[in-house]
Amino acid sequence: MASCVEDVLFDMDGCLYPIHNGVEEYCRERIYTFMTDVLGVEDVGLARELWLTAFRRYNQSLRGLRACGYRFDEDQYWRYIRDGSHVFLIPEPATLALVQHLRDIGVRCWVVTNCREREALETLAQLNLPVELFNGVLGADFMGDVCKPEPAAFAKVIAHTGCNPRATIMFEDSVRNLVAAKALGMRCVLVGDTTAAEETQDAALVAATADARIEHCTIEHVRASSLAAALGL
């Protein structure tokens, strides 16, 4: 069956791998330690409070810390918070099969993440997801001083990829990011429920935003969703 979708945008963290594998919790703890050891925040408890407030507003830890007035080397930051996270990353053959299927039927696949590209590429390699399967990896360096879910970030993605939002599906674990994608006309797949539960308790918002909800990015889970036909499954 041919797909009526031209482009698929994949978030990375919590989407191309399960969010409960330990990476998110590990990296958050590394951020708190970075704040105390490098930025001079008094203790981890205060660091956690400052981070949470900033992250809820800016949706990216680096931008949030910058907005709080902290100055630091970005390369040091990214290497610090991701160092050691690879031990949690287990190859996902079923996710690889989904991306390979989409490429085989002519769909262009992109990774669109608020993580920096260097770390994103390392994560993909650890997951045994060949970068050649994706038409591009668009991350923090590409987005510059904006990030998902800001409209300016999505405008950059659309301009670079040349995608038609109405022929595009986005896979995301963040309701906030999907709300922005939905407003542009994209069809939206909410992956998992952990991030969504952290972001909102508004079930009506989630229902209105997600065209489909799946537990994992696999052929089996997508095939059981309402978007199976659109993706040639």
The CATH code of the domain that includes 34 is: 1.10.150
Within a domain: residue 2? no
Verify that 134 and 36 share a domain, yes or no: no
* Angle ∠(12,17,18) on CA atoms, nearest 5: 120
Query: What is the per-residue pLDDT across 183-232, written as a single tens digit (0 to 9) for each?
Result: 999 999 999 988 888 888 899 999 999 999 999 999 999 999 999 999 98
103 and 77 within one domain: no
Contact 8, 169 (CB under 8 A): yes
- 166 and 225: one domain? yes
> 120 to each of 57, 77, 161, 204, 223, how far by Cα in Å?
23, 14, 18, 32, 27
Same domain for 200 and 134, yes or no, is yes
- Domain span at 70: 23-87
How crowded is the C-beta side of 22, counted as CA atoms within 13 Å?
A: 7
Written as tens digits, the pLDDT of the chain (233 aa) is 446 899 999 999 999 998 888 999 999 999 999 999 999 999 999 999 999 999 988 889 999 999 999 999 999 999 999 999 999 999 989 999 999 999 999 999 999 999 999 999 999 999 999 999 999 999 999 999 999 999 999 999 999 999 999 999 999 999 999 999 999 999 999 999 888 888 888 999 999 999 999 999 999 999 999 999 999 88
Q: What is the pLDDT of residue 141?
A: 96
